[in-house]
Amino acid sequence: MTDPVHRPEQAAVRGLLRAVDEALDGPVPREWKEAVAAVPRHRFLPDRIWLENNEGGYGPCDLPTDHQRWFEAAYADAPVITQVNDGQAPADPADAWPSASAPSIVVRMLRDLDVRPGMNVLEIGTGTGWNAALLAHRLGPRHVTSVEIDSDVSEQAWASLNATGLDVDLICGDGSLGWPHRSPYERIISTCSVRRVPWAWIEQTRPGGIILTPWDNPLLCWGLLKLTVERDRAQGRFSPHSAFMLMRNQRHDLRIFRDVVRDDHVPKESATTLPPWNITGDHWEARFALGLRLGDVWTAWEDEPDVDGVAARLWIATTDARSWAAVDHDGEQHDHFTVWQHGPRRLWDEIEAAHHWWEQHDRPTPDRFGLTVTENSQWAWLDRPTCPARALDHKESR
Ligand SMILES: C[S@@+](CC[C@H](N)C(=O)[O-])C[C@H]1O[C@@H](n2cnc3c(N)ncnc32)[C@H](O)[C@@H]1O
């Protein structure tokens, strides 16, 4: 007979698995259904989580005082924020990145990782420990190593894993270095996104092994990259899933007026017919492609800048903060925009050319793109490795 104490949990798990089934493009494989049922997600969440509030922001939800909402969040197919602002004061919910990923993306990644019992797997970004626990349930004791950079997060994951009795080797450290002591791995799965795939991961993976990682680009955080490791390189394709927090040591903290635009800059003026919003907002596929093509370009909207006749301005800059462009919308015309460009690169010209390239190639979606990584470089390609979309690690060459 079912233990009545566990009935709400079992019902919640069944509901969650139905939701995950619907979210995936195919049923959840039996082995991962069993893992999700055996490893309760709520046991991996801290007492305080952060949930969306009615004002479009986030507010704390505490287990002792708001048990129902907390428990529902644990079994919804949605990410849960367990730490804001990397655990630093002020605890600003505006800086909230989900730390417990949505169950459907967790299961999708585990399914795509294509693991079998006995494989040696490294996870980067332990977070709550739930993903590591699911892997350990499937692979058995001492087959999973997980690296987390944040010591508080790592400690909490250690306590949760200990309580469930699952044997995972937890390391508190920088996951971009992998963990050579337990290598070689058959699989590496990262649950934080990367802009550059660390070579250490490739060195620590057996030839034929798989590296699965969410992708990030300064233009857009989106895409899942699945690489197969070869003797001197790793190569593979993107799929249009997932947006994960960026790995800590690959982040840039840039502000347009603090770091890029100076009073003594004299930008060149021109005009464009390409609406600036075609490379921002919901145009994810264009942004993804442009991100791969341009590599190091980010954008920021400024509404109602203090400039006559300008309703909104799109700022564009390189991550080295040396080149910038601005595109002005007067609030009325939709086919004429004033452009300002400064620095060694003409960024709006590059964006227009990249957008044209994307259209000429039938607006390719992320699954037409791939990435090759060697020890000293990585480059994106379209359709096949011999057709570079553009070297990602170019230096200022023009
Ligand atoms: C989306 S969360 C991980 C979710 C987790 N796998 C789970 O099951 O809950 C991403 C984690 O990556 C960690 N992280 C960020 N940069 C890192 C790095 N350089 N090395 C290791 N972990 C990192 C973050 O602290 C965060 O806990």
Predicted pLDDT of residue 116: 93
Ligand 1 mutation target, pool 45, 104, 148, 158, most atoms within 8 A of CB: 148
Mean pLDDT over residues 306-333, rounded? 95
Indicate if 179 and 291 belong to the same structural domain: no
* Interval 276-292: pLDDT, tens: 999 998 899 999 999 99
CATH number at residue 321: 3.30.160
Q: Are residues 166 and 27 in the same domain?
A: yes
The total number of structural domains in the chain stands at: 2
Which amino acid, residue 252?
H
pLDDT at 269 over 80: yes
Ligand 1 contact via 201 beta carbon (within 6 Å): no
Active site residue 101: yes
Whole-model pTM: value is 0.93
Same domain, yes or no, for 214 and 330? no
Residue pLDDT, tens place only, 6-18 = 678 889 999 999 9
Ramachandran sector of residue 114 (left: φ over 0; alpha: ψ -120 to 50; beta: rest): left
Sheet of strand 312-318, all strands in order from the earlier edge strand to the far edge: 268-272, 337-342, 324-329, 312-318, 297-303
Q: Are residues 214 and 318 in the same domain?
A: no
In a domain, 138, yes or no: yes
Contact by Cβ (8 Å): 311, 330 = yes
Q: What value does the mean pLDDT take over residues 84-108? A: 76
211 lies in the same domain as 283: no
Is 17 within a domain? yes
Ligand 1 pocket member 191 (CB < 6 A) = yes
Indicate the pLDDT class of residue 223, thresholds 50, 70 and 90. Answer: very high
The 10s digit of each residue's pLDDT in 147-175 is 999 999 999 999 999 999 999 999 999 99
Range of the domain at 322: 256-360
Nearest CA to ligand 1 atom 5: 127
User: Same structural domain for residues 224 and 307?
Assistant: no
Together in a domain, 232 and 316: no
Cβ–ligand 1 contact at 249 (below 6 Å): yes
Q: Is 124 in the pocket of ligand 1 (CB under 6 A)?
A: yes
State yes or no: pLDDT of 396 exceeds 60: no
Distance 158 CA to ligand 1 centre (A): 14
In a domain, 370, yes or no: no
Collect contacts of 370-374 with beta carbons under 8 A, ≥24 apart. 370/235, 370/236, 370/237, 370/238, 371/197, 371/225, 371/227, 371/235, 371/236, 371/237, 371/238, 372/233, 372/234, 372/235, 373/197, 373/199, 373/202, 373/227, 373/233, 373/234, 373/235, 374/232, 374/233
Which residue in this structure is represented by tokens 């009545």? 4
For position 154, which CATH number holds? 3.40.50.150
- For residues 218 and 267, membership in a common domain is answered with no
Is 9 a domain residue?
Answer: yes
Give the Å distance between the CA of 191 and the centre of ligand 1.
6
In a domain, 12, yes or no: yes
Residues 262, 177, single domain; the answer is no
Phi, psi at 160, each rounded to 5°: -65, -45
Asked whether residue 178 falls in the same domain as residue 287, the answer is: no
